[in-house]
C-alpha cells in the first residue's frame, strides 16, 4: 500500500517573509510584469526630438522658397525710346550725353530721362519716363516762327545838308549837331529847324512822317520850294551821295533834295569798296529814282566733311562750291548736314577781292 503525502496549501493572506537583501525590493525582479490594459497606444516623444523636427520643417520651407525665386523669370529693367524729327539729322542728347542723330532707337534703363533734341538753333527738351518693357516714340517738329506784327512807327528821321557843310542845326530850340546830319527818332509831326552858318541862318518848318525820313538841304541864295527837286535810291547797303566832293545826302533818306538841272553825282560805300558815278537830271518840284548797278563778285564755299548750302534763303548746292557769283554786300549762308546739323554764317562780299568761306560741321 502506498503512502501518499498530503500537502497543505498556504493561506492567500499569509504575508511574505521579510528579507534583508535590498535587491528584492524591485518589483520587476520579484514578480512578472502586468499585462497592459486594452485601449489606444500612447507614444511619448521627448522634448528635444520635437525641436529637431520643427527646425527641419523650417529649413525645408526656406529651401522651397529659394528654389522658386531662383527659377522665376527675370523682370525687365529697361525700355526702348524712339526719337524722330522733321527734318531728320537732329542731335539727340540724353542726360547730357550725345547719343546720336535722328531717327534714333535706344534701349534705356527704366526711370526718368532728360532728353534734348537739337538742330541748329532749334532746341526741343523732353522729360521722358521710360517704363520697363515698354517702347515709347516721339516725333519732333519745329514750327515756323510766327511773324510778329510790326508796330506802327511813332517817330521819323530828318536829314539836314548845307552848303557849305559844318552849319549848326537847331530843332525846336535844341542844338542837334552840325551838317551833314541825320537826326533819328524825331516825333512825327511838324518841327521848326534852324540851320546857322557863320554868315547866314536858314529857318524852315519841316514835316516828319512816322517811319519816314525828311530831307532838308540849305545853301546859296534863298529860293522858292517849288524850285527844288529830289532823287531817291534803293540799294542793298547804305550809300553816300556826293557832288563835287561834298555830301548831299545818303540812300538812307527818302528824298535827296537837289536844285533843278544836271548833276554829276558819286555814290560811295567804303566798307564794300563800292564807288560809282552817274549823271542825273533833276526837275523842279519833281522827284526821280536813281538805279545803281551793284557789281557781282565770286565767293568760294567749302565745308568739312560736306554740307548743303543755302544763300539768302535759296539753295545753291553741295560743297565744295567754286566761283559762286553774288552781288557785293552781306549774305546769310546756311550749311546743313543730315547727321551733323546746321550752321549759319554772315559773309561780307566786297568789290576788292573774291571771298572764301569755310566751316567745320564736326565742331
CA-based end-to-end distance of the chain:
151
Cβ partners under 8 Å of residue 102, min gap 6 = 83, 84, 85, 88, 89, 90, 92, 117, 140
CA angle, corner 103, sides to 308 and 361, nearest 5?
35
* CATH, domain range 78-141: 2.60.40.1120
Question: Is 90 exceeded by the pLDDT of residue 317?
Answer: yes
In CATH terms, 296-360 corresponds, of 3.30.70, 3.60.9, 2.60.40, 2.60.120, to: 2.60.40
CB atoms inside a 10 Å sphere around CB 100: 15
CB-based contacts of 210: which residues, under 8 Å, 6+ apart? 152, 153, 154, 155, 156, 188
The residues with which 336 forms a beta bridge, in sequence order, are 308, 342
Residue 277 and residue 205: Cα distance in Å, rounded? Answer: 33
Domain boundaries, given as residue ranges, for the chain = 78-141, 155-290, 296-360
Confidence (pLDDT) at 120: 79
Reported as a single tens digit per residue, the pLDDT across 230-242 is 888 888 888 989 9
Quote the pLDDT of residue 125.
87
| Percent of the chain residues topping a pLDDT of 90 | 24
pLDDT of residue 58: 67
Of 346 and 212, the structure prediction assigns the larger pLDDT to 346
Q: Counting beta carbons within 10 angstroms of the beta carbon of residue 117, is it exposed (0 to 12), middle (13 to 18) or buried (19 or more)? A: buried
78-141 shares its CATH topology with 296-360? yes
Among all chains, which residue has been given the C-alpha cell 506802327?
152
In this predicted structure, which of 98-112, 162-176, 223-237, 265-279 has the lowest mean pLDDT? 223-237
Q: What is the pLDDT of residues 72-111, one digit of tens each?
A: 555 558 888 888 888 888 888 898 888 888 888 888 888 8
pLDDT of residue 75: 58
For the chain, the 3-state helix, strand and coil shares in percent, each to the nearest 5, are 10, 50, 40
Distance (Å, whole) CA 329 – CA 340 = 29
At residue 224, φ and ψ (nearest 5 deg) are -70, 150
Q: Are 138 and 92 in contact (CB under 8 A)?
A: no
Amino acid at each position: 500500500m502506498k503512502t501518499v503525502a498530503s500537502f497543505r496549501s498556504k493561506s492567500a493572506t499569509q504575508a511574505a517573509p521579510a528579507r534583508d537583501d535590498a535587491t528584492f525590493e524591485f518589483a520587476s525582479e520579484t514578480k512578472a510584469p502586468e499585462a497592459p490594459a486594452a485601449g489606444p497606444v500612447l507614444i511619448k516623444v521627448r522634448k528635444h526630438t520635437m525641436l529637431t523636427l520643427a527646425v527641419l520643417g523650417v529649413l525645408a520651407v526656406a529651401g522651397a522658397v529659394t528654389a522658386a525665386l531662383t527659377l522665376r523669370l527675370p523682370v525687365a529693367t529697361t525700355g526702348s525710346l524712339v526719337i524722330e524729327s522733321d527734318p531728320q539729322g537732329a542731335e539727340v542728347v540724353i542726360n547730357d550725353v550725345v547719343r546720336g542723330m535722328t531717327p534714333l532707337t535706344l534701349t534705356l534703363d527704366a526711370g526718368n530721362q532728360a532728353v534734348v533734341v537739337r538742330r541748329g538753333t532749334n532746341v526741343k527738351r523732353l522729360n521722358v519716363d521710360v517704363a520697363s518693357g515698354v517702347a515709347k516714340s516721339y516725333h519732333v517738329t519745329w514750327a515756323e516762327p510766327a511773324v510778329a506784327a510790326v508796330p506802327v512807327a511813332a517817330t521819323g528821321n530828318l536829314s539836314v545838308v548845307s552848303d557849305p557843310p559844318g552849319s549848326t542845326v537847331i530843332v525846336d530850340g535844341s542844338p542837334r549837331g552840325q551838317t551833314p546830319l541825320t537826326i533819328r527818332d524825331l516825333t512825327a509831326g511838324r518841327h521848326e529847324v534852324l540851320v546857322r552858318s557863320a554868315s547866314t541862318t536858314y529857318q524852315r518848318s519841316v514835316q516828319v512822317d512816322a517811319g519816314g525820313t525828311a530831307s532838308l538841304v540849305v545853301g546859296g541864295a534863298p529860293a522858292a520850294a517849288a524850285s527844288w527837286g529830289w532823287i531817291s535810291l534803293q540799294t542793298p547797303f547804305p550809300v553816300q551821295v556826293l557832288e563835287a566832293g561834298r555830301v548831299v545826302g545818303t540812300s538812307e533818306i527818302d528824298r535827296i533834295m537837289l536844285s533843278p538841272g544836271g548833276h554829276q553825282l558819286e555814290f560811295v560805300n567804303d566798307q564794300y569798296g563800292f564807288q560809282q558815278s552817274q549823271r542825273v537830271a533833276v526837275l523842279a518840284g519833281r522827284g526821280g529814282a536813281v538805279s545803281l548797278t551793284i557789281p557781282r563778285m565770286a565767293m568760294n564755299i567749302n565745308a568739312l566733311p560736306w554740307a548743303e548750302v543755302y544763300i539768302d534763303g535759296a539753295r545753291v548746292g553741295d560743297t565744295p562750291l567754286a566761283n559762286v557769283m553774288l552781288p557785293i554786300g552781306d549774305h546769310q549762308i546756311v550749311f546743313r548736314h543730315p547727321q551733323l546739323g546746321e550752321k549759319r554764317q554772315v559773309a561780307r562780299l566786297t568789290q576788292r577781292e573774291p571771298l572764301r568761306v569755310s566751316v567745320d560741321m564736326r565742331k
